[in-house]
Chains A and B, each alone.
Chain A
């Protein structure tokens, strides 16, 4: 179910009303969030629900094992029953009416039986180690369960996201080295929507419990509702348990007028960024990249058109992802939750480190806390710091998808972080005039665009064509002007609004505005959404990650 679809609008309106009718009844509200989340996520593919149920049970158990060494009998029973039911209803049985040739409404899917049994066995073995692990030293036990928990999460990610990529790369390398042909069957694995997001969120919970930064919860169903919390489930922000989980465990205050207004603003503004800016700019981007995506690498003579496409992609991906995040935060606000900020005017960044403090903040802070700092962070000599930066960013790039261009994108960002660090250029440095900071901002924006070219391109040949065309054939064709006009048409509101946000140092400047100005802004956004939206809702780019 996409946020920008009619189904979701109906779903959320109904859910919102029923949810607040159960106000003050925390258990009921949490159960509704759990059911709502499963309905929302299962809309894509019911089978994905078993995976998320597995992930939920896994991390809930490991957090408790790390903290206490042993699991209560009730916890074991509860989680096992939950998993078995999930396996039966989401994996083994297909409730699609007419799915079978015989027209049965329920069909048994035997092909998943082995997966189901494997998962159940995993937990039975885990529960079986309770006696043995209770005899281990505490720190040793904590470390062992941390490693097994994180490794299992990474294994899930590896199988569903990276298996075919690494297999393909290995085959390709093997063929190049031997000159032969490897006939290895490739598994047809579907990438579950938002897998990387909820896996990273789960890993952070287990690690935080290990670090004693978070106390594990014993309320399994509340924890399950936290993991499947639908506003931020499929594309983040990647929440930390210490911030979001406590909000599931205490009665939520009534929805205030200010919260409602802010939530509505985030939803409308996020939807505008997605359907008006991102989806319309996608047309420019896709038509320009299409020949290169299809392997036709002719260098065009109108380099300006390609440059416009890169600018358009910079705004498309920002509109798409930050639009989703705004909607997620707005929806959560309407349900009484506070979700962390994920974007803070990233294209106003002056340095790479400034950019990563503003772009996908939840991921960059995750990488900092769970990768960069454990690798050594800023400690040690300069070369170690550079190594840590490069490694962190390369893995961060790979997090986005199983493709070499994502890896290059990460390496590119790691590289520019190192260069800026080497040159000691910092965003904190004050200058007497505005000229240098503006120049720094322009340079950083173009470096970011260079990164986006690597990110969007399907191969390095495309990158080479773009660079050669922009720097060697900078001709301005009528089509380039047309695209430039469209780019301006769909992005001027965003640019103008962000300038207001930047100079007023307020991400919600509208809250201080007169009601008549608010009315006009809302009317403008709603009319734009209604007039410039495609009839078919487009998926969010980050759903694929």
Chain B
């Protein structure tokens, strides 16, 4: 009996601690609640959960994310067969590409599509972006899913987290200067998540509990750091990925990114499609944004079509371009700028 009461007492304290944490976070440090609903695909990487509808909530906004039966963020179904006379743009990217933190009509892809339609182009955007993807997963997504849509243009939304994600996923590596496959599967915590998502209480926690989101974010940050630290040992014991991405350009991490993007280009050309790379800038207080893209990709001599929005971001740096109180994705304002820049580039360079 005594033990029972002790256990109950301990349980009550734990529940109180969680309750206190929830109240504390709601008052002093609200946590952006951006649940990510992903599932395993047949080809060993993460895809968006099909037919999902969920909310992203922060102190500043609440937006709804909906996916169709193929897990694409869209309100309509997109068949694999391309309609006659329509040019298709397949988009590869992560949460930026998916349009996190903005409503669907505010995403840069929507703006780009509108810009092209206004210019008389019959286009259809197929957004295969999945939050958390790096270039390695994007390549696999293109090989297994993108090809089915018979794309005319591949748009790769490149972001600096790709550098770390490419290493962490360990799907590809470099051997004798060439890209080689390493692992066949990269599904971090997907199995556990799929099981948990079956429970309504867990889904409720994901979208409503500050405490839960805070614990998850903290744990994810730790795990990511540990994974990067462990996997970077494979190629470089002394240099950390953190410093590698910002300083030395001629090392493993940017080289891997370059080789992966080159492979995406090769695959695109094999599908008779052009590759357009969007350089998503990192926020900067006075310049609006800075590019952390490896020089090998952005260098015009290497033949990539790269859209940089740095001049536009510099012009509007005094406006709010990033959600600085949550996950630093684009605001609707920045999405508009990026979408228009993309449409302009595609038209100017006759990529469709």
Give the B-binding residues of A (Cβ under 8 A): 98, 519-520, 523-524, 527-528, 530-532, 535
Contacts and interface: CB of A to CB of B under 8 A. Distances in A.
B25 A531 contact: yes
B20 A523 contact: yes
Contacts of A535: 221
B21 interface: yes
Chain B CB count within 10 A is highest, among A524, A527, A530, for A527
B78 to A, nearest CB: 40
A524 B29 contact: no
Nearest to B218: A530
Contacts of B25: 527, 531
B80 interface: no
A519 B20 CA distance: 10
Contacts of A98: 238
B204 interface: no
Query: Which among A98, A520, A531, A535 has the greatest number of chain B C-beta atoms within 10 A?
Result: A531
Contact of B20 (A520, A530, A531, A532): A520
B21 A528 contact: no
A523 B17 contact: yes
B17 A531 contact: no
B302 to A, nearest CB: 34
B124 to A, nearest CB: 42
Nearest to A524: B24
A502 B292 CA distance: 52
Nearest to A528: B28
Nearest to B13: A519
B21 A523 contact: yes
B24 A523 contact: yes
- Which 10 residue pairs spanning A and B have beta carbons closest together? A531-B29, A527-B24, A523-B20, A527-B21, A523-B17, A524-B24, A520-B20, A531-B28, A532-B29, A531-B25
Contacts of B221: 535
Given A523-B21, A527-B21, A527-B24, 7 more contacts: A98-B238, A519-B16, A530-B218, A531-B24, A531-B214, A532-B29, A535-B221
Interface in B1-34: 13, 16-17, 20-21, 24-25, 28-29
A98 B238 CA distance: 10
Nearest to B16: A519
Nearest to A523: B20
Interface in B288-322: none
Contacts of B214: 531
A530 B24 CA distance: 12
Contacts of A520: 20
Nearest to B225: A535
A531 B28 CA distance: 9
Contacts of B218: 530
Interface string B184-209: 00000000000000000000000000
Interface string B143-168: 00000000000000000000000000
Contacts of A530: 218
Contacts of B29: 531-532
12 contacts: A519-B13, A519-B16, A523-B20, A524-B20, A527-B25, A527-B28, A528-B28, A530-B218, A531-B25, A531-B29, A532-B29, A535-B221
A94 to B, nearest CB: 16
A104 B187 CA distance: 41
B344 to A, nearest CB: 35
A234 B17 CA distance: 35
A532 B25 CA distance: 11
Contacts of B17: 523
A535 B24 CA distance: 20
Most central of A98, A523, A524, A528 by chain B CB within 10 Å: A523
B203 to A, nearest CB: 25
A523 B218 CA distance: 17
A536 to B, nearest CB: 10
Contacts of B20: 520, 523-524, 527
A531 B20 CA distance: 14
A519 B21 CA distance: 12
A482 B17 CA distance: 32
A297 B343 CA distance: 45
B253 to A, nearest CB: 20
A532 B28 CA distance: 10
Contacts of A527: 20-21, 24-25, 28
A519 B16 CA distance: 10
A531 B217 CA distance: 11
Contacts of A531: 24-25, 28-29, 214
A520 B16 CA distance: 10
Interface in B31-62: none
Interface string B204-238: 00000000001000100100000000000000001
